[in-house]
């Protein structure tokens, strides 16, 4: 494998202005000193964005009784961070626009350290100010970003103000239409992170493509002393390497080790310790290989069938965006209960709790950026935005063994400017990560016979693994039509049926041909699974979807009430009949794979 320069050298267009890009490891590893800024933040809902002109970021107070200051954080109610605003106040459920958040904190500066403020995610645009001074801006709702505040943070009292705006935009990623809720707010953790003056910004510790014992990677330092040596240790296998970074602070390495490989049956993680100067970070990393051979996907050199499910980052039992370790535990617990070895995190990068838990539980992961349906393909700013979101997704999770696919897009229309756009993303992804597989969920098929469909989207030329969303029995035809349907694929590549499904209200029963009943959904699953088993090149499936989720496009009263009901589990945790049908199918497959 060609040694990869660290991301900082890639000029991919910035989704963050003023931030350390790509944002990734500064605070998300153990060994760092962090100060949580989670909790109650005062928040001003500002539909006309008056706060820019009025200077809300200065947090002024009237100095005399005649002074006119037409806003007050103190008098404005609070919102919890992390959390979306929509589900914290009824009046904000449908709100789209700016909200200004303020959090006061006291701080003691430590000599010889640098301080960053890190946001796990803010949907969709954010502008941050510390003590009245602008730190920078960020675009894109699902990736972490951080700003260095070493020179702005004060000994004693500080105030951090963030304007978050979830307004959908035609030139955004995603654009103005999508089938999920545009939850706004500081949706993931916010914290201060203290690091030494020269610190380990990022590292790549993974097996080389195709090798089960050779590791090639790099460590990137940031600071004044970037040529200071770096030590890489994996004590369990007696690895201890001393590395010398180049003038840019990048230290490449290549080593061999006798490793137990990570797999769903044996999700072995090793303690990895990196140290340089006074900085030490510890991580837990698994090692595995992932490749394609003809129509097969090989994990650690052996073919694997991916028994998966798609899921949104939607909180179980309560409403809103999921963010916590408990949310992840509940949802991935259900994924395991279904008998899955694979999960598709649709349609955007999910929070790190989910990815890290997948690593520990032994669930393979499909990770995706929100290039969804139609977007402004010909707009260079939209491309730069998507490139930055791809870069930051890879930056955060490139050391997670669980992640095997980077997905570039979902159900995008076939047209030349879209192909140019997605090809660029594929090139970027392969350059940043030559080890994982590139996929996309496609939905363009040709009618090549009365009961024959051919997957012919030209993106198939570009991908390693073809994803197909087909909704036979729901958006077209009847569930029984699956019995005679034949599928063809234009490439000798693995195929994953990345979506099929139908909606059912948990507890609503009726005949198998009655829409919205559990019986309809279950019947659809039975016919689909029988059809899919016979599909050519089939390497896995991720039916739509684990749990019911909020969607503005789903209005039918008494049935949807602004929820997409295609979950095999309701958002209150009720398992529908289709859950058990899928579970039975996966048991059968797992059994046949054991033999
Ligand atoms: C799709 C989309 C997914 C939708 C789903 C549906 O094809 O990829 O985001 O929610 O269909 O329920 O229609």
The structure tokens listed for 76 are 């404005």
Cα–ligand 1 centroid distance for 300 (angstroms): 32
Cα 109 to Cα 33: distance, rounded to the nearest angstrom: 13
Q: Choose one of 181, 441, 499 to mutate for the ligand 1 pocket test, by most ligand atoms within 8 angstroms of C-beta.
A: 499
Residue 402: both structure tokens together: 């669980």
Question: Which residue of 544, 560, 568 sits with most ligand 1 atoms within 8 Å of its CB, as the best mutation to test the pocket?
Answer: 544
The pLDDT of residue 22 is 52
Task: Tell me phi and psi for residue 500, to 5 degrees.
Answer: -155, 165
Cα-to-centroid distance, 179 and ligand 1 (Å): 6
Kindly give the number of the ligand 1 atom that is closest to the alpha carbon of 474: 13
Determine the distance separating the centroid of ligand 1 and the alpha carbon of 407, expressed in angstroms.
15
Q: CA 203, CA 216: separation in Å to the nearest integer?
A: 11
For residue 501, which atom of ligand 1 is closest to its CA?
12
Q: Which of 175, 178, 179 to probe ligand 1 with, by most ligand atoms within 8 A of CB?
A: 179
What spacing in Å lies between the alpha carbon of 500 and ligand 1's midpoint? 9
DSSP annotation of 374 reads: S
Let me know how long the chain is.
595
For atom 13 of ligand 1, which residue has the closest CA? Answer: 179
CA of 256 to the centre of ligand 1 (A): 44
pLDDT at 215: 95
The whole-number pLDDT of residue 30 equals 74
Going by alpha carbons, the residue nearest to atom 7 of ligand 1 is 469
What one-character-per-residue DSSP string does 562-591 give?
SEE---SB-TTSPBPHHHHHHHHHHHHHHH
Gyration radius (Cα) of the chain, Å? 24
Q: Distance from CA of residue 268 to its chain's centroid?
A: 23
207 C-alpha vs ligand 1 centroid, how far in Å?
A: 35
Supply the residue whose CA is at minimum distance from atom 10 of ligand 1: 179
471 Cα: distance to centroid of ligand 1 (angstroms): 9
For residue 545, the CA-to-ligand 1 centroid distance in Å is 9
- Please tell me the distance between residue 445's alpha carbon and the centre of ligand 1 in angstroms: 16
Q: Which atom of ligand 1 is found nearest the CA of 503?
A: 12
Residues 6 or more apart in contact with residue 238 via CB below 8 angstroms: none
Distance 311 CA to ligand 1 centre (A): 11
Joined tokens for residue 396? 């955060």
pLDDT confidence of residue 25 = 66
pLDDT value at residue 3: 32
**Closest residue to atom 3 of ligand 1, CA basis:** 179
Q: Which residues pair with 165 in a beta bridge?
A: 98, 125
Can you tell me which atom of ligand 1 is nearest the CA of 178? 9
How would you classify the pairing of strands 364-368 and 403-410? parallel
- Residue 564 Cα to ligand 1 midpoint, Å, equals 9
Q: Which residues line ligand 1 (CB under 6 A)?
A: 179, 347, 410-411, 469, 499, 544, 564, 566
Name which of 288, 439, 421, 423 is nearest 364 in CA terms.
Answer: 288
For each of the chain's 595 residues, which pLDDT tens digit applies? 233 333 333 333 345 666 655 555 676 777 788 999 999 999 999 999 999 999 999 999 999 999 999 999 999 999 999 999 999 999 999 999 999 999 999 999 999 999 999 999 999 999 999 999 999 999 999 999 999 999 999 999 999 999 999 999 999 999 999 999 999 999 999 999 999 999 999 999 999 998 999 999 999 999 999 999 999 999 999 999 999 999 999 999 999 999 999 999 999 999 999 999 999 999 999 999 999 999 999 999 999 999 999 999 999 999 899 999 999 999 999 999 999 999 999 999 999 999 999 999 999 999 999 999 999 999 999 999 999 999 999 999 999 999 999 999 999 999 999 999 999 999 999 999 999 999 999 999 999 999 999 999 999 999 999 999 999 999 999 999 999 999 999 999 999 999 999 999 999 999 999 999 999 999 999 999 999 999 999 999 999 999 999 999 999 999 999 999 999 999 999 999 999 999 999 999 999 987 6
Q: Please identify, by atom number, the ligand 1 atom nearest to the C-alpha of residue 475.
A: 13
């Amino acid at each position: 494998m060609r040694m990869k320069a660290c991301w900082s050298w890639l000029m991919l267009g910035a989704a963050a202005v003023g931030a350390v890009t790509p944002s990734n490891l500064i605070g998300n590893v153990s060994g760092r000193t962090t100060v949580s800024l989670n909790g109650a933040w005062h928040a001003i809902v500002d539909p006309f964005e008056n706060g820019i002109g009025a200077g809300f970021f200065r947090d002024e107070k009237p100095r005399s009784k005649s002074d006119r200051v037409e806003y007050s954080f103190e008098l404005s109610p609070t919102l919890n961070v992390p959390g979306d605003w929509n589900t914290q106040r009824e009046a904000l459920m449908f709100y789209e626009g700016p909200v200004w958040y303020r959090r006061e904190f006291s701080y003691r500066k430590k000599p010889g350290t640098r301080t960053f403020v890190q946001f796990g995610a803010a949907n969709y645009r954010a502008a941050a100010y510390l003590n009245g001074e602008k730190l920078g801006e960020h675009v894109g709702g699902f990736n972490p970003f951080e700003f260095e505040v070493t020179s702005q943070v004060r000994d004693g009292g500080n105030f951090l103000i963030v304007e978050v705006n979830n307004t959908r935009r035609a030139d955004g990623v995603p654009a103005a239409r999508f089938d999920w809720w545009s939850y706004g707010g500081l949706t993931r953790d916010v914290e201060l992170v203290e690091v030494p003056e020269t610190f380990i910004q990022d590292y790549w510790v993974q097996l080389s493509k195709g090798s089960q014992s050779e590791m090639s990677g790099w460590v990137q330092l940031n600071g004044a002393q970037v040529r200071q040596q770096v030590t890489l240790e994996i004590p369990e296998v007696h690895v201890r390497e001393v590395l010398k970074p180049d003038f840019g602070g990048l230290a490449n390495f290549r080593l061999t080790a006798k490793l137990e490989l990570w797999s769903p049956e044996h999700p072995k993680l090793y303690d990895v310790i990196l140290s340089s100067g006074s900085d030490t970070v510890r991580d837990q990393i698994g090692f595995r290989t992932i490749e394609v051979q003809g129509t097969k996907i090989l994990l650690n050199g052996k073919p694997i069938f991916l028994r998966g499910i798609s899921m949104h980052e939607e909180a179980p039992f309560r409403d809103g965006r999921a963010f916590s370790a408990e949310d992840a535990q509940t949802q991935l617990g259900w994924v395991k209960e279904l008998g899955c070895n694979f999960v598709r995190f649709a349609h955007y990068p999910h929070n790190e709790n989910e990815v890290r838990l997948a690593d520990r539980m032994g669930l393979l992961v499909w990770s995706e950026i929100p290039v969804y349906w139609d977007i402004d393909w010909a707009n260079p700013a939209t491309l730069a935005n998507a490139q930055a979101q791809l870069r930051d997704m890879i930056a955060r999770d490139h050391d997670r063994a669980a992640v095997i696919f980077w997905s570039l897009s979902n159900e995008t229309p076939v047209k030349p400017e879209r192909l140019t756009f997605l090809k660029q993303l594929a090139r970027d992804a392969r350059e940043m990560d030559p080890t994982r597989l590139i996929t996309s969920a496609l939905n363009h098929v040709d009618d090549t016979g009365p009961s024959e469909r051919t997957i012919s989207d030209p993106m198939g030329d570009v991908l390693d693994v073809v994803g197909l969303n087909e909704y036979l029995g729901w958006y077209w035809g009847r569930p029984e039509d699956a019995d005679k349907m034949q599928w063809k694929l234009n490439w000798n590549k693995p195929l994953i049926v990345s979506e099929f499904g139908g909606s059912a209200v948990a507890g609503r029963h009726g005949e198998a041909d009655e829409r919205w009943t559990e019986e309809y959904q279950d019947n659809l699953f039975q016919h689909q699974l029988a059809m899919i088993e016979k599909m050519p090149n089939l390497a896995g499936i991720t039916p739509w979807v684990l749990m019911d989720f909020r969607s503005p496009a789903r209005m039918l009263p008494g049935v949807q009430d602004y929820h997409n009901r295609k979950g095999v589990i309701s958002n209150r945790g009720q398992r529908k009949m289709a859950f058990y049908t899928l579970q039975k199918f996966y048991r059968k497959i797992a059994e046949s794979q054991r033999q």
